[in-house]
Amino acid sequence: MAISPRYTREIPHRYRLEAQRFSSGYVTLANRYVDPETGSREFENITLSGKGKILTWTVISIAADAYTRETPFVIAVIETEEGARLTAQVVDCMPEDVKTGASVELVFRKIMEEGASGIINYGYKAILI
């Protein structure tokens, strides 16, 4: 079975919540090798706590074919305690329970199946705490 390059590339941040902290303090979850604020190339890898707050959110009522059985569902922009920002689905709640500023925890869940081979992609989703 062939594994897609994207799947392999995303393992550190999707499975272990590994992020990068630059010397300026800027934290990014996706790999970035230059600090967008200072241009520095000095960073350390850190593991995020998995806790954060919702900055903004929306309810998806019409989704791609693979997700139509899940509608409506909430997608939110979340800022972690360390300062990284990411987009994640908010699960295990009703859409009307989601509020800007709500505390969330990132949990490990199945995201989707990929391609004809059915590779299961796991990653993080958010739950209200």
CA proximity to 83, closest of 58, 111, 46, 56: 46
Neighbour count for residue 61 (Cβ, 10 Å): 9
The residue-averaged pLDDT of 9-32 equals 82
CATH number at residue 37: 2.40.50.840
* Domain count for the chain: 1
Q: Which residue has the higher pLDDT, 8 or 45?
A: 45
Q: Confidence band (pLDDT; 50, 70, 90) for 6?
A: low
Place of tokens 């209200």: 128
Place of tokens 């593991």: 47
Amino acid in the structure at residue 49: S
Could you tell me where the DSSP H helices lie in the chain? Answer: 5-9, 11-16
Question: 95-125, pLDDT tens digit by residue?
Answer: 999 999 999 999 999 888 877 777 787 889 9
* Domain span including residue 19: 5-128
Strand pairing report for 51-60 and 73-80: antiparallel
